Structure 1
């Protein structure tokens, strides 16, 4: 089922109105591990978890933009003209979010989705699905999802970027561990990603896994929260953009090791799964900030 890159890129963007309130924000934050016990007097626990869980103190992590409208803003582009693919061949290769201003706790916006790029990797194609949201005050965020489609390359298109970032040889400036609850995927999927791969053992087995895996975007959110709390003083308004490459999977119940290298206005991040010999989970990951 070939991809017609020219037709896909020329297709009219799709627009829909989306809305959210504090309950959607709180549910998302809980889904990425916030507020497990915000009242514990334990110095190892961030005393400010209520900024993610209590409506009177609430702020919004920019990664929330990946789930607003049930997370279909970008992935709706898979139904664009010129895109006729087997969803079983689709992998989420990378994600970026750029916020134009802080996301309000309650809001309504028009989200527009389109195919922004199509790359020919030979044995596979990479689609860049872009969704942009704006409200009455102007642009809110831009999401880019990089979708890897096995078996759909070889159509003669541009190969596109393929650089890998070399990490510093020095130890991270900060290193934290974040446990993933055994039921984390079941909670996270309530924000709109109902893929049975993350809940149904039989479906996961058909996909080649011995048990359901965690959503990549859940790991993405867990990581941004860790960076925000560790480097940015918990202030989400300092975040400008956040991008990653999904380098591996996470199973619920595992522990994430998150290494951070700080530079002026940027944090470089690497995430590994502790229980599987520190297997790489997120690579080429950057948080740009004020």
Structure 2
């Protein structure tokens, strides 16, 4: 059995030391498309050491090893990485992410659910330094062919790791944005720690059913957050308190990302689509909570 729910849920947490500095932050920003135009003062906040801001999405790659890898190699999870799709991601900020940091991430599988022939593994990560909690992440990983569990503790129908579906208002969006996806973006983003060849090797992409390599899900996640912060929040990254999204479809380098935003009480609800393919869904159930 590729997944043993009882073993996965009973396993000790995985602890990982995270260390980062301004170069890691700048690389992440470049990897999600920051720095265009290169002399734009708004973009320079993400690319120059002077006055450098940290987009909270950096938390998903801080330390150079994405937390979702802790779920792929956890005890009780014996699956091929090619069979795993990142389906959902949520992030809660306890304080702004610093430009330079040293922290410890503690990760553990909190649930394993049947989803017909597949399974959903829910991974929870907490990050803290000497001053206390910094951020928390929850990732939902779909394991194709991993269903048929034995009903061990935690097994059951799949549930979202977030707070339920986020309905977009039945009115025109307050902001309707487009963002180009650079042709080389996946090559840049992979240097943040996600070296899955699916996103860069055409042969691997074809084996997975794509005619070309799709962009990393967390890269799209970061691009959408940046668009929201730069426009609706005036570039004030420290106002972000939380962010969640469900990965509903692929986007490819060279395409155009469309981000529609609706303002609410302390939240932005977003719909993210591929503009070049008839607004095919890319991110769904997407919410940015803010101060």
**TM-score category, normalised to shorter length:** over 0.9
Q: Give the secondary-structure state (helix, strand or coil) at the position aligned to 1:65.
A: helix
Alignment of 1:1-290 (within 5 A): 1-39=1-39, 47-155=41-149, 156=151, 157-161=155-159, 164-290=165-291
Query: Measured at CA, do residues 254 and 261 of structure 1 come closer, stay the same or move farther in structure 2, by a change above 3 Å?
Result: same
Partners of 2:67 and 2:159 in 1: CA distance: 23
Q: Distance in 1 between matches of 2:103 and 2:249?
A: 33
Whole-Å separation in 2 of the counterparts to 1:165 and 1:228: 19
Gaps of 5+ in 2: none
CA RMSD of aligned residues (A): 1.4
Q: Report the 3-state secondary structure (helix = DSSP H, G, I; strand = E; otherwise coil) of the residue aligned with 2:124.
A: strand
Instruction: Return 112-121 or 236-245, whichever deviates more.
Output: 112-121
Kept in 2: contact 1:113–1:130 (CA 8 A): yes
Structure 2 residue matching 1:233: 3-state secondary structure = coil
Partners of 2:81 and 2:204 lie apart in 1 by: 14
User: Shift of the alpha carbon at 1:19?
Assistant: 0.2
Q: CA deviation at 1:246?
A: 0.2
CA contact (8 A) 1:129 1:144 kept: yes
Name whichever of 201-210 and 226-235 sits farther off: 201-210
Note the alpha carbon deviations across 1:56-85, whole angstroms, 9 max, x for none: 111111110111122332321222221112
Tell me how far 1:86 sits from its aligned partner.
2.6
Mapped partners of 1:277, 1:34: distance in 2: 25
> 4+ residue runs of structure 1 moved beyond 6 angstroms?
none
Per-residue CA deviation, residues 12-69 of structure 1 (Å, 9 max, x unaligned), is 00112110000000010011111122325xxxxxx42111111111111111011112
- The TM-score, its normalising length taken from structure 1, stands at 0.94
- What secondary structure does 1:7 align onto? helix
- C-alpha displacement of 1:10: 1.1
TM-score, normalised on structure 2?
0.94
> Aligned residues, how many?
284
